[in-house]
Structure 1
Amino acid sequence: MESYLKSANEYVPVFFSRDPSSWSFANAFLTNKFSKWSHDIKPKIEQNWTMRWPFAHKEITRTDSSYKLACMLRIGGKVLRKLEQHQRSPQVASSALGFGPQMAMQLAERLYTQGFISYPRTESTSYPPSFDFGGTLAAQVKNPTWGTYVHDLLAEGYLKPRLGTDAGDHPPITPVQAATEDMLGNDAWRLYQYVCQHFIGSVSPDCKYVRMKVEFAVGGEAFYCTGQYVTVKGFTSIMPWLEVNEKSLPHFTKGDRIEVSRVELYEGNTAPPDYLSESELISLMEKNGIGTDASIPVHINNICERNFVQVQAGRKLVPTPLGISLIRGYQCIDPDLCLPDIRSFIEQQIALVAKGQADHACVVQHVLEQFELKYCYFVKQIDNMDTLFEAQFSPLADSGRMLSKCGKCLRYMKYISTQPSRLYCSTCEEVYHLPQGGVIKLYKELTCPLDNFELLIFSMPGPEGKSYPLCPYCYNSPPFEGVEILSGSTKGGNASKFGKGAGMPCFLCPHPTCCHSVIAQGVCACPECSGTLVLDPVSAPKWRLYCNTCNCLVFLPEGAHRISTTRERCPDCDSTIIEVDFNKNNTPLADGSTLHMGCILCDELLHSLVEMKHGKSFRMRVSGSRGRGRGKARGGFRGRGRGRLADPKMSFRDF
């Protein structure tokens, strides 16, 4: 079934089976018996002999072994050519290489940026008249796999490709320079290898082969068999996966009578159509005018990430209960949303606008009016969608586990761990979205001073993952105007719009008295960006600071019993003074004491014990002159300052 899910301002295609009528066709499929004859004749032919005319299953009641001779009726042959055909790169990568379309485009873009292939986001199959075929082929002569073939092709003369389609964007994908597997890595090399072989095959001769067909009669029924052999391999020499499957036949003469050694009736059952593979989905999208080489991988990746389908063995796209329920809901309310017609029509109109054959304003106005009408109608019928989902899924109130208290009703909310993870208050009937990709726990039963919600702690995976507290209500509805939010947490990336999944954790909160805000836990300005280094509250015993904007990490003295921020400021750089309680067994203090207060930028002892990690490289602290004045300190660090944007970015070379 071909379906289009309206989400995030786009129609996302979902193809559930080969049959375009309904996904339920596969589940409701009724199997029927079928029969076919199998004969062995002398000399034996290793082929399937097929009946020339169909017959009804009810007419076959027994196998008759009285037929001993087969009479040759007709023998014929035909010389055929197999032509090299263009296929979309994501389609080939999925079917032949086993890559998903999104992965294929990512690999192709990497090869392009490294200068190994031409621009990959193209739909053209026609080369410009000035294209240098000889130079492109010459760059592949030294390749150990196909270099000899390319050398012979240049010597004998290559053939220019047949006229294809000029989509007006970019030329077809071609290799730009030679490469090896060691240079590219396994996956990128396989894709690069296909691009090279496809280009070389496109300028190679056609494959020529002869197909033979033999017909004979047994007991009044006609059967036939075909065989074929290659005369010129042509482009299949460089593209062996497209070579002709040769089948040899013995020599026969019309009228020959040959002994039948075995007659067998095989019975089987018909099977429902299989699910679509990614490559078949791409073909259907192309056939229905949906998407381009640039957008098709994104569409397929979206329906996988949103759990509408799952990629299983053979790159088959199998619908999930969520996807099936969503499609059935669309079919019940507005069947147009399940058909490719809307998206195809819009793309056709866009193409006409590009050609100057349609007015841009009229097209936009018409499409917006249609969407508005469909949206209003859908909202009025939304109860039908709820009914279908309730029949398939358990209510949200019955899911999850108790985690934290709601600040409105003071009752426990349930944590739904399935993606996307969220909190649900069954009393208030409110859903609170949470950060994704980490672990959510209750944070010491502490509460937010603004709304009385219990705080949570979010921990990213891995030894370098950040941990930060958040208030569920503030995270979804930031209480301050103009405050920054987590990058990409709102749809469209607009940080000025709050609401669903807005994303303001405590390290971005500017509340002046909250002990979890950036005012209380911030230490100094980040040396790599305009952010602030904040104390990680649960990083003990490997204490550290993290930037609330970038991936910068600053490791503090390891093994300390406790590290906390204070209300005091450094008089030189205005950074926050921290208090460190060292372990008595390895305290660095000369008198053996364990408690020490100071600025990590200006204090000699603390500055010698910190180190920074950014990305995958460590940069250790080296000695430097003492910084003076407000806003700059030793080692390239900036002081806390009165605002994160007050000081210009400084180098971290001396840290």
Structure 2
Amino acid sequence: MAPKVLMVAEKPSIALSIASALSGGRMSTRKGSTDVHEFEGVFQGSHAFFKVTSVIGHVLSVDFPPAYQNWEGTDPMDLFSAPVLRSECNPKAHIRRHLAQEARGCTYLVLWLDCDREGENICYEVIDCTGIPENEVGRRIFRAKFSSVTEKDILDAMNNLVLPNKDEALAVDARQEIDLKVGVAFTRFQTRYFQGKYGNLDARVISYGPCQTPTLGFCVQRYQQITTFKPEKFWSLKTYVIKDGNEIQLEWDRKKLFDFDVTVMFQKMVASDGILKVTDISVKEECKARPSGLNTVNLLKVASSALGIGPQTAMHLAERLYTQGFISYPRTESTAYPSSFDFRSALAALVHNPLWTNDVRALLDAGFVKPKQGHDAGDHPPITPMRLATEETLGTDAWRLYQYICQHFIGTVSPDCRYMRTSIEFASGGEAFHCVGYRVISKGFTSIMPWLAVSENNIPAFKKGDTVSIHKVDIYEGSTSPPDYLSESELISLMEKNGIGTDASIPVHVNNICERNYVQCYSPPFEGIDKLFGALKLDDTGKVGKGAGMPCFLCLHPTSQLFDMPLL
């Protein structure tokens, strides 16, 4: 009798992709807790009968025994030494029975869970549910490693099965237990402490989390910087000359001073001289480097700051694009591509989209450049488009995210942007001024990523030793201003820098502090936004907004009275 092979994926859509690729589409499907796809094929050189099914994320969850569930009857300190139980996630209890039933009579188990630590942990949850002993790893239990659900990647993974990683699975077990004990203990403690003292708190439960709390802390820190900020006046010289009929404003090397009388003194010195002398001219070619590969954190930051898509929504969209086979695995810390990556095939898959067909054809014909060296975290390649899609197929927001992923990838294999930088130094009355001009020589990657283009700024020709009359010298008065509330993009950067959360959990932590009403999101008026972010496209009404794909400021600021309370 032919051996039976049970293969388990993390989501039903991935199970369908795996079965379709391995069976060539010749399979039958029956309903179960999750669909089961069946077909015949070859496994380890022998004819075999395959069953492909899936879980829906984690099968098991951790919690305290019933004796520790009573808030009043349990001291929060006791929770740190309390035992923990692993049981079926309530909505998914049927998955355990489903796996046990499908594993009956199966000789082999092949695990197709997502290739990260959480995936390794779910591997061992699946092993536990099937009843196949762990000591069969390498003999009857195998692990498939893949970064996308294209047919090529699935076939490659099937031909190069490895072993599940027990150490990574145990690391997740430890993290789950720590999160449970720390989170529940401190949540109970501070809820009881604060609710007894402040009756009008806007929360019944004041939650604590090892990642949630420092995430909130960044917002509170910015809030305190804003509320304690004291503005200070400053003054600067604005010097103008007329050359070839054009008025040019020169930048003062001192930038600004915080003493008005001293600024007036410098103004009089320059005005009394009345002449600016060219002291130095520097002309050199510079380049703006193409980007490295796209990782999860950078995708989330761009989605929030430029596309107006919050990090949790962006992650859901990216996961859907992955399960549908349009992009590679979206949870990755790496920005470096492996040396074996097939860039030509990835480019060829995009060539027929009219939005970038000219750029792609030019790269395929003239030769693309390999992306600059990035960070290799040893997990997955950077997020990469795997096949062509249309807006009609994906829907508006998923298409915008997919479009950015495509443009970023094309940018990584495009030449650097090259430009000439001309700097002219002037002197008058003992003070130094300058102006800078830019002229693009080759657009390079900014052809496909125009929002990163170098803004050309042509300045008239001067020669060293030239003199020019000063048209006017004005004093500009300004005032220092506090920082703005944290944007989601800034918050994600701070979390990454300080090691708070993972590429997969960062969106969850940001969403939690919003849903629990510790912070609230708001979008400031778009007036003057073009001065901050450069030239922006407008919609049909001439306004900037999410529909036009413009920056959406989802800024976070504390709302709870806890932030003004004294420390314990």
**TM-score normalised to the size of structure 2?**
0.54
Count of aligned pairs between the two proteins: 327
1:221 and 1:89 map into 2 onto residues whose CA distance is: 45
In structure 2, the partner of 1:294 is 504
The alignment partner of 1:318 has SS state of: strand
- Aligned match for 1:26, one of 212, 226, 245: 226
Structure 2 residue 333 is the aligned partner of structure 1 residue 123: yes
Number of the residue aligned with 2:305 = 95
1:79: which partner in 2?
285
1:178 to 388, 391, 409: 388
Distance 1:20 1:260, change over 3 A: farther
Q: Is 2:473 the counterpart of 1:263?
A: yes
1:318 equivalent among 556, 560, 563: 556
Following TM superposition, by how much is the alpha carbon of 1:15 offset from its aligned partner in structure 2, in angstroms?
A: 6.2
The C-alpha deviation readout for 1:479-528, integer Å capped at 9, x for no partner, is: xxxxxxxxxxxxxxxxxxxxxxxxxxxxxxxxxxxxxxxxxxxxxxxxxx
Measured against aligned partners, the alpha-carbon deviations of 1:317-358 in whole angstroms (never above 9, x if no partner) come to: 332331xx33455x713xxxxxxxxxxxxxxxxxxxxxxxxx
Deviations 1:360-419 (CA, angstroms, capped at 9, x unpaired)? xxxxxxxxxxxxxxxxxxxxxxxxxxxxxxxxxxxxxxxxxxxxxxxxxxxxxxxxxxxx
Letter in 1 for 2:310: G
| Cα distance, 1:206–1:22 mapped onto 2, change above 3 Å | closer
Matches for 1:427-442 after TM superposition, within 5 Å: none
The answer on whether the counterparts of 2:417 and 2:446 sit within 8 Å (CA) in structure 1 is yes
- What residue is the counterpart of 1:68 in the other structure? 274
1:51 alignment counterpart:
252
Asked whether the equivalents of residues 522 and 556 of structure 2 are also in contact (C-alpha less than 8 Å), the reply is: yes
Q: CA–CA distance in 1 between the matches of 2:281 and 2:219?
A: 38
User: What does 1:245-260 correspond to in 2, within 5 Å?
Assistant: 245-260=455-470
Q: Residues 47 and 326 (structure 1 numbering): CA distance in 2 closer, same or farther, change over 3 Å?
A: farther
Equivalent residues in 2 for 1:99-498 (5 A)?
99-313=309-523, 314-322=552-560, 325-329=561-565, 332-333=567-568
Q: 3-state DSSP class of the match of 1:49?
A: strand
Which residue of 205, 225, 236 corresponds with 1:36? Answer: 236
Shift, 1:8, TM fit: 5.7
Q: Secondary structure at the match of 2:383?
A: coil
For the residues of structure 2 that align with 1:183 and 1:19, how far apart are their CA atoms? 38
Any unmatched runs of 5+ in structure 1? 334-655
Q: 1:290: how far off?
A: 1.4
The Cα of 1:283 is off from its aligned counterpart by: 1.0
User: Partner residue of 2:192?
Assistant: none
Asked whether the 8 Å contact 1:123–1:293 carries over to 2, the reply is: yes
Quote the Cα distance in structure 2 between the aligned partners of 1:121 and 1:321: 31
User: 1:93-129: per-residue Cα shift (whole Å, max 9, x none)?
Assistant: 1111111101110111111111111111111112223
Cα distance, 1:137–1:301 mapped onto 2, change above 3 Å: same
Separation of aligned partners in 2, 1:14 and 1:247: 43
Q: 1 CA distance for matches of 2:463 and 2:217?
A: 46
Pairs within 5 Å for 1:601-612: none
Taking structure 1 as the reference length, the TM-score comes to 0.47
SS in structure 2 opposite 1:42? strand
Check 1:22–1:148 CA distance in 2 against 1; reply closer, same or farther (3 A cut): closer
Letter in 2 for 1:50: E
> Displacement, 1:205?
0.8
Please give the per-residue CA displacement for 1:204-244, whole angstroms capped at 9, x wherever unaligned. Answer: 11111121111111222111111111111111111111111
> Would you say the 8 A contact 1:19–1:25 is kept in 2?
no
Residues 149-174 of structure 1, C-alpha deviations (whole Å, 9 max, x = no match): 10111010111112222222221111
The alpha carbon displacement at 1:261 in A equals 1.2
Q: Percent identity among equivalent residues?
A: 51
- Cα pair distance change 1:55/1:304, threshold 3 Å: closer
Residue number in structure 1 paired with 2:7: none
Amino acid at match of 1:78: K
CA distance in 1, matches of 2:419, 2:220: 36
Question: Could you tell me how far 1:289 is from its partner in structure 2?
Answer: 1.4
| 3-state secondary structure, aligned to 2:327 | coil
Structure 1 residues 209 and 144: alpha-carbon distance in aligned structure 2, compared to 1, 3 A threshold: same
Describe the SS at the equivalent of 1:90. Answer: helix
- The 1:51–1:9 alpha-carbon spacing in structure 2 relative to 1, beyond 3 Å, is closer
Report the CA distance between 1:245 and its aligned residue: 1.1
The question of whether the paired residues in 2 share the 8 Å contact of 1:124 and 1:165 is answered with yes
- 1:17·1:274 contact (CA, 8 Å) conserved in 2? no
- Compared CA separation, residues 56 and 33, structure 1 to 2 (3 A): closer
Amino acid at match of 1:71: K
Q: 1:41 to 1:47 in 2, by over 3 A?
A: closer
Amino acid at match of 1:49: L
- Aligned partners of 1:9 and 1:30: how far apart in 2? 33
Instruction: Report deviation, 1:9.
Output: 4.4
C-alpha contact 1:310 1:320 (8 A) present in aligned 2: yes
Question: As a proportion of its length, which structure holds more helix?
Answer: 2
Cα shift at 1:274? 1.3
Q: Which amino acid aligns with 2:225?
A: F
Q: Which position in structure 1 is the counterpart of 2:211?
A: 11
Distance change >3 Å, CA 17–CA 212, structure 1 → 2:
farther
Deviates more, 1:124-133 or 1:101-110: 124-133
CA-based RMSD:
2.5
CA contact (8 A) 2:219 2:486 kept: no
Q: Distance in 2 between matches of 1:100 and 1:51?
A: 40
**2:555 match: secondary structure:** strand
Larger CA Rg, structure 1 vs 2: 1
State how far apart, in whole Å, the 1-side matches of 2:461 and 2:241 are.
13
Rounded Cα–Cα distance in structure 1 between residues aligned with 2:246 and 2:488:
37
Distance 1:17 1:264 in 2: 43
Q: Structure 1's 18 and 307: CA in aligned 2 closer, same or farther, altered over 3 A?
A: closer
1: CA distance, partners of 2:247 / 2:221 = 39
C-alpha spacing 1:20/1:223, structure 2 compared with 1 (3 Å): farther
**CA–CA distance in 1 between the matches of 2:387 and 2:555?**
36
The answer (yes or no) to whether the contact 1:16–1:275 under 8 Å persists in 2 is no
- Asked whether the 8 Å contact 2:322–2:330 carries over to 1, the reply is yes
Q: Determine helix, strand or coil for the equivalent of 1:332.
A: coil
- What corresponds to 1:580 in structure 2? none
